[in-house]
Structure 1
């Protein structure tokens, strides 16, 4: 790290502007011991040099435009060109040193001589490329490190990622094959080995155990690679606290897939802190011990179950200082009714209730965890008392009250990955026109039971009017304009069970209603088979149509962009009356 900091300082320290010429002074050996202050001063020197050169260039350009060029002008331009070239050279060197400094920081997080350190060395060029891309594209310097680590984590997770462990272990495994086990040798020893496996049970058993141990060791090493990036993010300033269930401790825990969009309603009376930039837990804003950076899965079972139970049963207007969880929902229907209920309970204006919508694709895996996944992971914990056990069983066994709850931990930075709207904005944009039930004064003091009743009422299949489509599109554009209007309008319209067109035309293709129904039924069956999936009816309706009708790319859903008109697209999908 010290070497990289020296390089950063040296990249700038030699540049001085004096008497309109560029001079190189000093060297690495003559620099004082590098410190952060030295780096700040060196950067200030570079900025001053750039500003001076820029001002000089503007003056020369002005002078050139007001009189006939002369030999003296050419000499001045040549001098200025030398300065600009020197600055460009310094900028390139500085950029290179910045990348190396970032990689040195990441490498310093792994212990010397460890497998992770070797893997970081193996992926060095790819890490540099990721750092360079983020530095070139970011508009938020304060979050550069977090963005780099999040991308590295995602690239390490996905099998097609540039940092996936296969790129390290597969060549290593191929290189370590020795006779007589490598079939490429096609030697007498290889065939003898194969024959002994077939006839000698003892030999075969020893070989099987040996292979299993090798496979288990590699599995643990691969998990160590992922764990490194989780911990690196956790140590990063403003980094996320991810849900990461170690396979060695919780082999039965499998976190459910997270829907593309999650929602959260809040106001000044909500627990923790929620605003246009962050969502922070009570523990993260009240504790000084740093416990909010401790993953739920890294806590004792007793502490984890107590926190989970306490959070899911707490009052909506206060929270425990030790609560490190914050709630989200995949159901916008549920969140809107919750916002109406909060507004009624507090007697406040709808403009005071905010709804935050996040695109989960822009967050690292593990940022959100399904409540059902966590409840299943801890339902057999020895520390559960009878009251806790009954609550866990109730939540897991009553699908009618499943509102698609997801949880985040610690501090979540959502700026740039979210869209915000107040309840008042939704109403002004046409919420009551699209769903007049939300305007019913008698139901404003109701919440979960009201949502249950609306789902039952809206489960009956019906056609859609063009006015409904137009209203949904206008709401999407007015309230959640950071996201694709077609996508959000479809999500809003999915509150009701709507008939689909018999032959929706998608480009050159026509997909029959039967095909869509079969795909939808198949996906519903798949979700029922997997207890971690599913969710509220309206969320499943949206996901089924979206997954069926939208093209896919490696990042997930593409926004629907086949037609120039958003309303026309939805009319092609939904049966209109």
Structure 2
């Protein structure tokens, strides 16, 4: 998490930097006390869906807002430096999906369950997207600049009640996030953000073909009412009602999804993420044994870096989320780090640390500061 602990005096970026990817950090003022602590409450892994009809641009190298793609001058301006009313209007429109050319925000989620359901919803909405053209991105935030992301809850606390909307206001969104189950682990970046080397992606069709509905049959059930938020809440209620022992078939499917869709480098965290789509018992021997069988003695990528027990803080959850699928993920990782597989994990981590150091050295040589 060291990459986010550094500070920067830059509050805006030039158009050239936005076009190149760069980073427009969130830089709170003293009268915005909700934001500063929230900037340190960013999950290691975030997910995003992109399709031809979505706003902005998302590639393996960069994510850019609608305003940045259009080259608008205000794409250089931190939302926290804007007039409060203007910032509140933009935030409200963005969170409600009201398209505006001035929108300088891009959404990510800590919930794979939500992102998968959102991708599926895009195939049945009015003006549907083709599953082969919908891509799901996973991002490792540890290598990104500090203050690149902020939880939506921090901005809702800062600007709630400032916007001019009486009905469908920001205060209403904040109430939904805090008082109801309609919280989807949303995190925001702004302007242009370089994500090169920190992300992997797969199409929704690939994910379906590799067994999504075998692992989570509930996701394959008809959604005749084209529900999204209510559907996610129903999935949570159904998948996290009781804890069921993991089967070997589930592990095989999760591994096929992780490796087949996101590659060997991301296999471990994505396998854990897919297994976290439902409630699992603690100290699950099937999960620990599967890890030993599939990852022991192999050379993982930096995507696995930080899985050691003393590094599990990088996988912590936060009070503003309260999402069962997100809370399940570090528990799966902890099972991987159980006594039955500690020796295997130590071997994996030792190799990973060496690979990670080599990767950082190569970046420093190719892209000197």
Scaled to the shorter chain, the TM-score interval is 0.7 to 0.9
* Contact 1:234/1:242, CA 8 A, preserved across alignment: no
User: Does the residue aligned with 1:310 lie in a helix, a strand or coil?
Assistant: helix
Q: CA deviation at 1:238?
A: 3.4
CA distance in 2 between counterparts of 1:547 and 1:376 reads: 33
User: Does the residue aligned with 2:205 lie in a helix, a strand or coil?
Assistant: helix
**Structure 1 residues 277 and 235, CA gap change in structure 2 (3 angstroms):** closer
Larger radius of gyration: 1
Residue 269 of structure 2 corresponds to residue 487 of structure 1 = yes
Q: CA deviation at 1:413?
A: 2.2
Q: 2:70 aligns with which of 286, 291, 295?
A: 286
**Structure 1 residues 292 and 347, CA gap change in structure 2 (3 angstroms):** closer
Q: CA deviation at 1:371?
A: 0.7
| Map 1:93-132 → 2, pairs under 5 A | none
Q: CA deviation at 1:324?
A: 0.4
* Contact 1:262/1:358, CA 8 A, preserved across alignment: yes
Q: CA deviation at 1:474?
A: 1.1
CA distance in 2 between counterparts of 1:362 and 1:309 reads: 29
**Number of the residue aligned with 1:496:** 278
CA distance in 2 between counterparts of 1:400 and 1:547 reads: 26
User: Does the residue aligned with 1:263 lie in a helix, a strand or coil?
Assistant: strand
**Number of the residue aligned with 2:152:** 371
After TM superposition, the score normalised by the length of structure 2 is: 0.75
Residue 104 of structure 2 corresponds to residue 324 of structure 1 = yes
User: Does the residue aligned with 2:33 lie in a helix, a strand or coil?
Assistant: coil
Q: CA deviation at 1:260?
A: 1.3
CA distance in 1 between counterparts of 2:208 and 2:8 reads: 45
**Number of the residue aligned with 1:343:** 123
* Contact 2:246/2:284, CA 8 A, preserved across alignment: no
Q: 2:135 aligns with which of 343, 354, 379?
A: 354
Unpaired stretches in structure 1, ≥5 consecutive residues: 1-150, 159-225, 508-522, 552-557, 565-577
**Number of the residue aligned with 1:260:** 44
**Structure 1 residues 389 and 406, CA gap change in structure 2 (3 angstroms):** closer
Residue 207 of structure 2 corresponds to residue 420 of structure 1 = no
User: Does the residue aligned with 1:242 lie in a helix, a strand or coil?
Assistant: coil
* Contact 1:395/1:401, CA 8 A, preserved across alignment: yes
Q: 2:330 aligns with which of 535, 539, 543?
A: 543
* Contact 2:52/2:129, CA 8 A, preserved across alignment: no
**Number of the residue aligned with 2:88:** 305
Give the structure with the higher percent helix: 1
1:544-567 deviations in whole A, cap 9, x for unaligned? 44367559xxxxxx9x84588xxx
CA distance in 2 between counterparts of 1:542 and 1:281 reads: 29
User: Does the residue aligned with 1:326 lie in a helix, a strand or coil?
Assistant: strand
1:311-339 deviations in whole A, cap 9, x for unaligned? 11124xxx201110111111111111111
Q: State the number of aligned residues.
A: 313
Residue 32 of structure 2 corresponds to residue 245 of structure 1 = no
1:90-109 deviations in whole A, cap 9, x for unaligned? xxxxxxxxxxxxxxxxxxxx
**Structure 1 residues 238 and 349, CA gap change in structure 2 (3 angstroms):** closer
Structure 1 window deviating more from structure 2 (251-260 vs 383-392): it is: 383-392
* Contact 1:234/1:241, CA 8 A, preserved across alignment: no
After TM superposition, the score normalised by the length of structure 1 is: 0.49
Q: CA deviation at 1:384?
A: 4.8
Q: CA deviation at 1:425?
A: 0.4
Q: CA deviation at 1:377?
A: 1.8
Q: CA deviation at 1:415?
A: 2.8
* Contact 1:434/1:471, CA 8 A, preserved across alignment: yes
CA distance in 1 between counterparts of 2:154 and 2:33 reads: 13
User: Does the residue aligned with 1:376 lie in a helix, a strand or coil?
Assistant: helix
1:444-501 deviations in whole A, cap 9, x for unaligned? 8321111110100111111111010011011100111164312211111111101123
Residue 53 of structure 2 corresponds to residue 269 of structure 1 = yes
**Number of the residue aligned with 1:314:** 97
Q: 2:79 aligns with which of 296, 299, 302?
A: 296
CA distance in 2 between counterparts of 1:542 and 1:364 reads: 24
**Number of the residue aligned with 1:400:** 181
1:207-245 deviations in whole A, cap 9, x for unaligned? xxxxxxxxxxxxxxxxxxx34255589984532111121
RMSD value over aligned CA atoms? 3.3
**Structure 1 residues 455 and 280, CA gap change in structure 2 (3 angstroms):** same
* Contact 1:331/1:538, CA 8 A, preserved across alignment: yes
CA distance in 2 between counterparts of 1:486 and 1:284 reads: 34
1:150-205 deviations in whole A, cap 9, x for unaligned? x9x948x35xxxxxxxxxxxxxxxxxxxxxxxxxxxxxxxxxxxxxxxxxxxxxxx
CA distance in 2 between counterparts of 1:292 and 1:252 reads: 23
Q: CA deviation at 1:535?
A: 3.9
User: Does the residue aligned with 2:27 lie in a helix, a strand or coil?
Assistant: coil
Unpaired stretches in structure 2, ≥5 consecutive residues: 293-312, 349-369
